[in-house]
Amino acid sequence: MTGMQVVWTLIKIVLMLAVIINLAALLTWYDRRGSAMMQDRVGPNRAVIKIFGKEIRLAGTLHAAADGIKFFTKEDFMPPKADRLLFAIAPILAVASVLALIATIPMADTICPTNLWRSVTKDGSTFTIFPAVQRWGSCVADPKNGVFPIDMAVAPLNVGVLYVFAIAGQGIIGAAIAGWSSDNKFSLMGALRAASQMVSYEVTMGMSLIGAMMIYGSVRLDDMVRWQGENAWGIFVQPFAFFLFFAAAVAETKRIPFDLPEAESELVSGYFTEYSGMKFGMFYLAEYMEVVTSSMLIVTIFLGGWQLPFLHRDGITIELGAAKVAHVAMPHIWVSILGVVAFFVKVILMCWIQAFVRWSLPRFRYDQLMTLGWKILLPASLVNILVTGVLWLALEKAGPAATDALRLAGNITQAVVAVLATYFLARVVVGMFGTRPKERFVVGSAAERAQAQGGTQSSAMQA
């Protein structure tokens, strides 16, 4: 490995760790703020910094910092009869499996270092140009100068998604060890629930992706994304698998409505009942990091990864079937930056959707949870494999006309995505900078009586 490859690897590691840790921290804030907005109540408003007598709340984001300080300063309690070694390493295993999982997820297409910028001398003057690259083909290596193509995954493995499931399965060990080593019946029950739940839904996750692997023709995550960029996003070619994978991924993160391993009303706090201080903080942070990693996988496999509609390696190319409507060449460096930004924006959107689901649905009973996994989602994933295989064989025998029709359909889906993304982006911008008139309205008989008697006397709470 050359020095330049080492530098790029460190850059990728720092970038992925910075995103997953900070996004997990922001999700703790959004869980408070988003749930407050949905339930029409005051959200995070108590963490405050006073500077020159002025209170600064930063929209409640100081709560994440307050949580970190609290975790580091709380007493590190351990039950007297707990297994000291296993009790200590369980939270480490919970975090380590999540961090190891992100190593194979690509955040952008392969970067050609020789095409990022180039110095050109003309008429005695030196200029820096930013060239484009070809749409198809691989990057040109320069072994003499130690320059090689840079894969934008920390560890681009040929086994791809198989490694993902192998590492994701290790998360069961941390929860099971935590519950067993705590010497607490509630913790043990939570560990048993967590292990059975995660095993059950990992089967569905794996089976739901077989149809996608059949279509993509690869288990490498970067190849899956490239296929989507040249054809259509996975959510259009495997819509049923997308919803199956999403439901199983939410169950894997053990969050509402699948939070049976930690059910407070039944098990106090499940497998980490006896944990305190930063050990509890590691379990707490691992749960939110699981949300981020599951969102990364959903984006990579079903939402085009780093791809944007009609944006390819050589620039913007608008096509309708076999006809090229327009082409605008773009420098390779800008295409790479747009790919990284697009990937993480999609990840943030999927994290928001998972947080929205958490505060929208009630908790299942445990028998309903297992019934859903084994009797509904698993058979549905098997049906999806059968239907995908039959349709794929039929399309292969249909001839060139079907291929052209599918290419046109793929272009249409990309156009639909481009229009919807532009529309929602415009709505967000208008919502952020526009103003809406605030109207006071009364809900409920108690509020009506209070208003009839002159209203309440207390001042409004600060958000």
% pLDDT > 70, the chain: 92
Instruction: Write out pLDDT tens, residues 234-245.
Output: 899 899 999 999
Q: d(Cα 195, Cα 171) in Å, to the nearest integer?
A: 9
Q: What's residue 94's pLDDT?
A: 84
CB of 205 within 8 A of CB of 290?
no
pLDDT the model gives residue 188: 84
**Over residues 346-375, mean pLDDT:** 86
**461 falls in which pLDDT band (50, 70, 90)?**
low
Whether 460 has a pLDDT exceeding 70, the answer reads no
* Residue 49: strand, helix, or coil: strand
Tell me what the mean pLDDT of segment 126-140 comes to: 75
Distance CA 363, CA 267 (A): 14
Q: Which residues lie across from 126 on neighbouring strands? A: 121
Residue-level pLDDT at 242: 92
Q: Which of residues 443 and 45 earns the better pLDDT score?
A: 45
User: What's the confidence (pLDDT) of residue 462?
Assistant: 52
C-alpha to C-alpha distance for 175 and 216, rounded to whole angstroms: 34
Tell me how far apart the alpha carbons of residues 27 and 353 are, in angstroms, rounded to a whole number: 11
Predicted confidence (pLDDT) per residue in 144-201, tens digit = 766 777 888 888 888 888 888 888 777 788 888 888 888 888 888 888 888 888 888 8
Find the mean pLDDT for residues 395-403. 80
- Ranked by mean pLDDT, the top range of 93-102, 150-159, 380-389 is 380-389
Lowest mean pLDDT among 13-17, 44-48, 179-183: 44-48
Q: 171-181 and 185-208 helices cross at what angle (nearest 10)?
A: 170
Q: Count other C-beta atoms under 10 Å from residue 268's C-beta.
A: 16
The DSSP code sequence of 183-201 is T-HHHHHHHHHHHHHHHHH
Place of tokens 């059910």: 263
Is there a contact between 168 and 349 (Cβ–Cβ < 8 Å)? Answer: no
Mean pLDDT, the chain, integer: 82
Return the minimum-mean-pLDDT range out of 205-219, 252-266, 300-314: 252-266
How many Cα atoms occupy the beta-carbon half-sphere of 4 within 13 Å?
15
Q: Cα angle vertex 322, ends 316, 324, to 5°?
A: 35
pLDDT of residue 162: 85
Residue ranges per structural domain of the chain: 3-431
Residue with tokens 């439901």: 247
Among candidates 378, 351, 343, 371, which has minimal Cα distance to 253? 351
Residue 369 in this model has a pLDDT that exceeds 90: no
H or E segment and range at residue 55: strand 54-56
Question: pLDDT-derived band of residue 222, with 50, 70 and 90 as boundaries?
Answer: confident
Query: How much is the pLDDT for 343?
Result: 92
Higher-confidence residue: 141 or 255? 255
